[in-house]
């Protein structure tokens, strides 16, 4: 058993397990030259462990807590209250009480103290857990302090703390509680200093919030704070609030509210000079800890005292750069419709596959566009291309350019990126054989890969995969393949631009691209309808599938578990045939570490059952044919309207050529990614076999540990049969923290996340603006779905989600509208929505929060906005 009490001077930041996050930071703060910290000591986790041992009945309650879900509120409330009551009733042993009182005597027994909880899962770099446990201010006298130490121990099991840990996957038993006892100060003003702007993330801007009296008034939300922004040693923005109340220490202990006299309410709590001085102290603290800090401060007789500092855990990390220059980064995930955090193996494989350098931050990838923005030769084209993909990215970049002080203007040099949509695209013959040959080339390459990889293992396997990625890059960036994709894109843009000019027809290409050939992603959704057709006539198989989850069948084995029912063989054959074509796909498929449908085929069962319930036999064929006919009808209508215009025959010839080009080539846009994902799955299966060998050799603890290594690191492990277990553990912790972050579309090297806007004033009141990507207007029930596996859609529903990648396509056959938070004109969800004839608006900021599940909404897919209906 360790010591029960440690003074701040005996503590540093390595002792979180002994004194908790708050205690460790206070001890470390006390060591920084020029930083004043009110004196105090910590009652260590050893004392808490001893108290817990006095109450064996808590063990059973902790077991029951561990089995609860975060939403089991009543059970959490009951169990946590029982644990708190038990802890508060345990008498502190005499020797422990004496150790606390001796430390008090050294500081002054009758002084006033703050008694503050300090959990071991608190104020950590990956999660702050702030406000989950209790703090008591102005506690006077040894008896009162001992009582409040017990209350702090008990507050580890407050309802909010228990629920927070359940939501974050933190073991209730592994968290320990220390208690900070710190001399109270009587401040004129107090508040919070963020050494990075908590709103924009800018690391060069400090933000100060200040109010009169104790900081408790600000933290508890009783008053609005004065807010100051500081950059480069000067206040660059200031907002002085009306402060009607303050909290001060009460003469008899505790705190009390006091009204502030009217003439003082609008006075600033700090002078500008004091704010600048405070920001300088914050920079000293930040430099010591090596990352931006959230600092609690008090002003006593024109002297700042620091009473807490913790990492700011909500800031998005900045890509590492080896220079001190300004950089602007654009999110790769927003273009790929996959904004989730990726594991290191997934990041490194994608970087090896990519055409240009990518930079990692927060488990996401970014492209540095600084050079392109700085050069007048490339700027307009870059903004045009990015804007067509996502107008919010373009607007954010334009915002940075308009400031005029972040990106230097370089000499006019380098390749010029031509804006799209102007003159007719460069000629390419609308020959379906071109697409067919490209697909056959890719398929032959995948077949050769599957054949050749079987004989590889060890370092030879990693070398083989590295060579395979070079082959993949040749296919992905093949000039003819790129020409076909761009021909489809540019013809689409050309048609939309010219038909709006000539006929006033907005987004005409949306209808013209319905049911095009060679779209492997839209074919996937229709093929799952065909699977439903095979299973529908066999009610016993349908009943079995309805209870797959209840039976707890293993994902990869559930097809083999089908009992000998009428239709068993047909169902197995249909699902396996579908998986052979599409089983390499999954949600977030650009990350090789994500589980594929072939690995977890039970994910498909709800979609198959939904198709059986909601559609008639032969729906897939009818759906495709209906789209083809609508496109043909639209084509004839447009050509007839053009003929009567001045120079109509020429316009008809040009438009007909563009329509043929679109329908020949636009479907192929989905194929290169399909081919890439197919190869990724082959690599993954081989790498997992190699990982299993490493597990058998006791090099790795489990197969999926390889996901937390980069490709090169994995190569080194395979070669040496040695692994840094601690590194894998750190990577797992980092990944969990990254999952909680929302990646920005645009990020600067200052850490600023720059948000764009649509800048539209032509919308109804309350409308949610976005990017129109598939024409039409529909009303229906909004189904807000954050995970595809949780989808419970009925025909006529409107899907509202964060993003859709190709894996969501099987759901598109049921919906009649689509709203996403992320997306662009040529991202997968937009392409499939157009092909299926589903009106869609993408890039609607915070759509999943602003629209409630079950609300009726109207989607304006032509005009780019969503209305929430009464």
User: Which residues are catalytically annotated?
Assistant: 828
Tokens standing for 780?
Answer: 């229906």
Tokens standing for 831?
Answer: 């392409």
Question: How many whole angstroms separate alpha carbon 330 and alpha carbon 39?
Answer: 47
Residue pair 827/389 in contact by the 8 Å Cβ criterion = yes
Q: Which residue has the tokens 């396509």?
A: 809
Question: How many whole angstroms separate alpha carbon 641 and alpha carbon 326?
Answer: 52
SS3 content of the chain, % helix, strand, coil (to 5): 50, 15, 35
Tokens standing for 197?
Answer: 């702007």
Closest CA to 240 of 194, 203, 214, 208: 208
Question: How many whole angstroms separate alpha carbon 854 and alpha carbon 375?
Answer: 48
Closest CA to 548 of 530, 529, 535: 535
Question: How many whole angstroms separate alpha carbon 680 and alpha carbon 859?
Answer: 36
Question: How many whole angstroms separate alpha carbon 241 and alpha carbon 221?
Answer: 13
DSSP label of 126: S
Residue 288: CB partners within 8 Å, gap ≥ 6?
28, 32
Tokens standing for 522?
Answer: 């839209």
Residue 857, strand partner residues: 780, 868
Question: How many whole angstroms separate alpha carbon 339 and alpha carbon 393?
Answer: 14
How far out from the chain centre does Cα 648 lie? 50
How far out from the chain centre does Cα 49 lie? 37
Tokens standing for 694?
Answer: 């490493």
DSSP label of 561: T
How many of the other CB atoms lie within 10 Å of CB of 783? 22
DSSP 3-state assignment of 459?
Answer: helix
> Which is it for strands 798-801 and 817-820: parallel, antiparallel or unpaired?
parallel
Residue pair 847/826 in contact by the 8 Å Cβ criterion = no
Residue pair 154/84 in contact by the 8 Å Cβ criterion = yes
Q: Which residue has the tokens 């102007």?
A: 422
Ramachandran class of 122: left when φ > 0, alpha when ψ lies in -120 to 50, beta otherwise: beta
The Cα-based distances of 216 to 191, 222, 512, 865 in angstroms read 8, 8, 62, 43
Tokens standing for 811?
Answer: 């759901």
Q: Which residue has the tokens 């004033």?
A: 761
Residue 20: CB partners within 8 Å, gap ≥ 6?
42, 45, 117, 118, 119, 120, 122, 123, 176, 177, 178, 180
> Which is it for strands 777-784 and 798-801: parallel, antiparallel or unpaired?
parallel
Handedness of CA 261, 262, 263, 265 (dihedral sign): positive
DSSP alpha helix (H) spans, 168-271: 216-219, 262-265
Question: How many whole angstroms separate alpha carbon 307 and alpha carbon 185?
Answer: 10
DSSP 3-state assignment of 551?
Answer: coil
Crossing angle of helices 432-453 and 648-665, rounded to 10°: 10
Tokens standing for 331?
Answer: 């999110």
DSSP label of 807: G
Q: Which residue has the tokens 């970087």?
A: 351
Q: Which residue has the tokens 């009169």?
A: 212
Residue 117: CB partners within 8 Å, gap ≥ 6?
20, 22, 133, 134, 135, 152, 155, 156, 177, 179, 180
């Amino acid at each position: 058993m360790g010591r029960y009490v440690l003074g701040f001077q005996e503590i540093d930041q390595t002792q979180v397990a002994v004194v908790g996050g708050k205690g460790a930071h206070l001890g470390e703060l006390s060591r920084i030259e020029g930083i004043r910290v009110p004196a105090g000591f910590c009652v260590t986790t050893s004392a808490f462990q001893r108290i817990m041992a006095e109450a064996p009945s808590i063990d059973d309650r902790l077991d029951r807590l561990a089995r609860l879900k975060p939403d089991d509120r009543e059970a959490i409330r009951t169990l946590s209250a029982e644990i708190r009551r038990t802890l508060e009733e345990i008498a502190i042993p005499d020797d422990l009480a004496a150790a606390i009182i001796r430390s008090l005597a050294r500081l002054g027994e009758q002084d006033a103290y703050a008694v503050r909880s300090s959990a071991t899962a608190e104020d950590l770099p990956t999660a702050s857990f702030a406000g989950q446990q209790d703090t008591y201010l102005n506690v006077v006298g040894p008896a009162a302090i001992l009582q409040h130490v017990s209350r702090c121990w008990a507050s580890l099991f407050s309802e909010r703390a228990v629920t927070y840990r359940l939501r974050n996957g933190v073991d209730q038993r592994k968290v320990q509680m220390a208690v900070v006892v710190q001399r109270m100060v009587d401040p004129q003003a107090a508040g919070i200093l963020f050494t990075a702007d908590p709103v924009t993330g800018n690391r060069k801007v400090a933000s100060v919030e200040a109010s009169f009296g104790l900081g408790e008034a600000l933290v508890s939300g009783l008053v609005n704070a004065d807010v100051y922004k500081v950059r480069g040693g000067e206040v660059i923005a200031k907002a002085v609030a009306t402060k009607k109340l303050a909290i001060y220490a009460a003469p008899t202990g505790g705190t009390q509210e006091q009204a502030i006299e009217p003439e003082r309410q609008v006075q600033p709590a700090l002078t500008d000079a004091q704010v600048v001085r405070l920001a300088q102290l914050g920079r000293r603290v930040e430099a010591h800890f090596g990352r931006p800090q959230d600092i609690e401060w008090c002003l006593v007789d024109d002297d700042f005292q620091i009473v807490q500092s913790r990492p700011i855990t909500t800031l998005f990390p900045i890509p590492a750069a080896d220079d001190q220059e300004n950089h602007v980064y654009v999110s790769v995930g927003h273009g790929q419709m996959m904004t989730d955090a990726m594991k290191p193996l997934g990041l490194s494989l994608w970087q090896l596959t990519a055409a240009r350098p990518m930079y990692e931050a927060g488990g996401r990838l970014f492209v540095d566009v600084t050079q392109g923005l700085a050069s007048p030769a490339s700027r307009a084209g870059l903004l045009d291309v990015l804007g067509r993909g996502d107008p919010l990215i373009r607007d954010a970049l334009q915002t940075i350019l308009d400031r005029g002080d972040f990106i230097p203007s370089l000499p006019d040099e380098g390749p010029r990126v031509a804006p799209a949509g102007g003159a007719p695209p460069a000629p390419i013959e609308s020959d379906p054989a071109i697409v067919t040959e490209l697909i056959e080339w890719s398929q032959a390459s995948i077949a050769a890969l599957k054949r050749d990889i079987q004989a590889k293992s060890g370092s030879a396997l990693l070398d083989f995969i590295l060579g395979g990625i070079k082959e993949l890059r040749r296919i992905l960036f093949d000039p003819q393949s790129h020409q076909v994709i761009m021909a489809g894109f540019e013809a689409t843009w050309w048609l939309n631009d010219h038909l709006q000019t000539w006929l006033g027809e907005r987004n005409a290409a949306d209808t013209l691209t319905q049911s095009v050939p060679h779209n492997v992603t839209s074919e996937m959704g229709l093929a799952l309808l065909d699977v439903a057709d095979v299973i529908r006539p066999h009610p016993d198989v349908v009943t079995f599938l309805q209870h797959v989850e209840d039976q707890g069948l293993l994902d990869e084995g559930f097809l083999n578990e089908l009992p000998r029912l009428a239709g068993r063989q047909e169902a197995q054959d249909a699902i396996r045939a579908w998986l052979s074509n599409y089983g390499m796909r999954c949600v977030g498929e650009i990350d090789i570490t994500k589980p594929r449908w072939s690995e977890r085929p039970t994910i498909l069962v709800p979609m198959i059952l939904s198709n059986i319930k909601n559609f008639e036999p032969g729906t897939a064929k009818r759906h495709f044919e209906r789209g083809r006919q609508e496109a043909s009808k639209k084509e004839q209508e447009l050509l007839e309207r053009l003929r009567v215009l001045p120079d109509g025959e020429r316009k008809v010839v040009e438009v007909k050529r563009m329509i043929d080009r679109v329908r020949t080539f636009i479907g192929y846009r989905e194929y290169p990614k399909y081919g890439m994902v197919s190869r990724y799955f082959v690599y993954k299966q081989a790498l997992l076999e190699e990982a299993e060998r490493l597990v058998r050799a006791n090099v790795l603890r489990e197969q999926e540990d390889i996901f937390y290594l980069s490709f090169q690191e994995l190569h080194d492990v395979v070669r040496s049969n040695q692994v840094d277990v601690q590194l894998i553990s750190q990577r797992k912790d980092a990944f969990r923290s990254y999952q909680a972050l929302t990646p920005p579309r645009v990020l600067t090297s200052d850490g600023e996340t720059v948000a764009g806007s649509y800048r539209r004033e032509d919308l109804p009141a309350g409308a949610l603006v976005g990017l129109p990507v598939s024409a039409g207007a529909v009303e229906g029930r909004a189904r807000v779905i954050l995970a595809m596996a949780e989808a419970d859609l009925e025909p006529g529903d409107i899907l509202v989600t964060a993003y859709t990648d190709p894996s969501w396509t099987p759901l598109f056959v049921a919906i009649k509208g689509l709203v996403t938070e992320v997306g662009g004109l040529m991202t997968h969800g937009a392409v499939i929505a157009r092909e299926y004839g589903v009106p869609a608006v993408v890039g609607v900021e915070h759509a999943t929060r602003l629209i409630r599940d079950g609300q009726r909404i109207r989607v304006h897919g032509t005009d780019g906005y969503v209305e929430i209906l009464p």
